[in-house]
Amino acid sequence: MNVLAQGAPGGDAVSVAEAVAFWILGPIALAGALGMVFARNAVHSAMWLVLTMLSLGALYMAQGAPFLGFVQIIVYTGAVMMLFLFVLMLAGRDSSDSVVEVLRGQRVAALLFGVGLAVLLVATVGRAFADVTPAGLAAGGSNWNGNVPGIGQLLFTRYLLAFELTSALLITAALGAMVLAYAQTRAHVRRGGQRAMVEARLRGDPARIAPLPGPGVFATANSVAVPAVLPDGSIAADSLAEIIDRTEVRPAPEPAPDDAHALTGRPLAERGGRGTSVEGGSTEGSAGDGSTAGTGVHR
């Protein structure tokens, strides 16, 4: 705690407000990190990570580095994690962790490398705590008209080469991504774009220009099982879906023509005497229509 807060502009002593901020934000950041590891849902994981990043940003601000804090929020929380979310959403919302091991020996390797990384981190960070004396922000900050100009001055003088190299790396990555993305659309380009496709279609490349006819003006039903009817009353052959045509049609049991309840499939006894009270002529037509539509295509 002492070591972490020593960079504060106030000097070596940790102020009360800073300690409070640390003891609130620190556990939240840690909880976010654990939540990210243990959450089953990928989007929940991402949200936990966002929480960690936000608390880190707030911690930076509390330690007298407002620029770093807000850039952390804008760049990492705002842009990088948003891209993560973008990809996760495309992956589907119910894609949880799979426990099936696809790569052989993956877990053992992950364990080894994980432990190795942990040892490395503990060694370096521990050494930083023990041996290195922190210079504090006071050296760079107050001489240079506050935090922001100080960072700018360092970035564009002392660390210019590293800065430019990083930007070159990022540009290379962006170009690589573009090349990869455009490679997949080459098939589309070969077809010549929208105009060429329209012309080919008009010349009869796919035999038909217009979409297949739907049930249309003369139809008596809007089911896909009912073919479209041409103006002269004949059936439009194009409107028949092949899969329906191929499906065997089983004749449905004919419902009692005078009783709409027959369509619900409840037993006759349950219906009791109510069926007889229904008017005769009014239901007959609709029940008949329903039965023909239900049995599929009739020619």
- Whether residue 249 contacts residue 297, with contact meaning beta carbons closer than 8 Å, is answered with yes
Give the number of C-alpha atoms closer than 13 A to the C-alpha of residue 298, restricted to the C-beta side. Answer: 12
Count of positions (residues) in the chain:
299
Q: Which is nearer to other proteins, 69 or 255 (CB)?
A: 69
User: In this structure, what token pair is assigned to residue 84?
Assistant: 């993560």
Q: Choose one: 184-192, 197-205, 214-222, 228-236; the region binding other proteins (CB under 8 A).
A: 197-205
Per-residue binder mask for other proteins (CB under 8 A), 78-107, x = binder: xx--xx-xx--xx--x--------------
> Using the rule CB under 8 A, is 204 a contact of other proteins?
yes
> Using the rule CB under 8 A, is 145 a contact of other proteins?
yes
> Using the rule CB under 8 A, is 139 a contact of other proteins?
no
Q: Which is nearer to other proteins, 99 or 210 (CB)?
A: 210
Q: Choose one: 37-45, 113-121, 217-225, 251-259; the region binding other proteins (CB under 8 A).
A: 37-45
Question: Phi/psi at 235 (nearest 5 deg)?
Answer: -85, 135
- For the bound state, the minimum distance from the C-beta of residue 79 to other proteins, rounded and expressed in Å, comes to 6
Q: Which is nearer to other proteins, 199 or 289 (CB)?
A: 199
Q: Which is nearer to other proteins, 3 or 139 (CB)?
A: 139
Nearest to 111 by CA among 125, 101, 96: 101
- For the bound state, the minimum distance from the C-beta of residue 51 to other proteins, rounded and expressed in Å, comes to 11
Whole-angstrom distance, CA of residue 180 vs CA of residue 112 = 33
User: In this structure, what token pair is assigned to residue 244?
Assistant: 């329906």
> Using the rule CB under 8 A, is 50 a contact of other proteins?
yes
Query: Applying CB under 8 A, which of residues 103, 180, 202, 269 lies at the interface with other proteins?
Result: 202
Distances (CA, A) of 203 to 66, 197, 207, 211: 65, 10, 9, 16
- For the bound state, the minimum distance from the C-beta of residue 69 to other proteins, rounded and expressed in Å, comes to 8
- For the bound state, the minimum distance from the C-beta of residue 146 to other proteins, rounded and expressed in Å, comes to 5
DSSP 131-200: TPPP--THHHHGGGTSHHHHHHHHHHHTTHHHHHHHHHHHHHHHHHHHHHHHHTTHHHHHTTHHHHHHHH
> Using the rule CB under 8 A, is 71 a contact of other proteins?
yes
Region class of 139: left (phi > 0), else alpha (psi between -120 and 50), else beta: alpha
DSSP reduced 3-state for 269: helix
Binding site for other proteins (CB under 8 A): 41, 43-44, 47, 50, 54, 66-67, 70-71, 73-74, 77-79, 82-83, 85-86, 89-90, 93, 145-148, 199, 202-204, 209
